[in-house]
Amino acid sequence: MMYRPKQLLINLLLLLASVFFAIGVYLPVFTLTKLLIFNNTVSILSGLWQLVAEGEYVVFILIFSFSIILPITKISILTIAWNSQTDHHHKKLIWLEKIGRWSMLDVFVVALLIVTVKLGVLASVVIHAGLYYFTASVLIMMIVTKLVIQKYE
């Protein structure tokens, strides 16, 4: 089957979003340095496991749902809808567009700001590549969502 340029572009963007997502979840997102002595480098995955270890199950479920399950679901539905020959995906895409606004990008940035403000001179936060990959994945998915929805309008 021969792909049109837009068909290929969207599929490449979906692949790129998937790769960036996997890298962003795995790589360190930030390092918290307390009192210039204690360092704690955190990735999204290590942060999730830390929440489980500390018994913070509700927070774990929220963050896991919005930062792991939602993006994987979104990429899967976008891929199926974009490559499908049928037109019955419109409702799913509208739902994705609305719920996608609740991705963990916003919550994560707010959490970093709260940590930075609360700790002030007691600690510093250094951002790492994982945050940039995760952010790029979320942004690519937002763009692709708009483009895929246009296919069904």
Q: Is the pTM of this model over 0.85?
A: no
Structure tokens at 94: 């509208």
**What pairs with residue 127 in β-bridges?**
30
The total of structural domains in the chain comes to 1
List the pLDDT tens digit at each of the 153 positions of the chain.
445 888 889 999 999 999 999 999 999 988 878 777 778 888 888 888 988 998 889 888 888 888 888 889 889 888 888 887 766 666 677 777 677 666 655 556 556 655 655 566 677 778 889 988 988 998 898 888 888 887 776
Q: What is the domain range of residue 97?
A: 5-152
d(CA 52, CA 46): 10
Residue where the block lists tokens 């399950």: 69
The pLDDT mean for the chain works out to 80
pLDDT at 112 (0 to 100): 60
Q: What is the per-residue pLDDT across 122-138, written as a single tens digit (0 to 9) for each?
A: 777 788 899 889 889 98
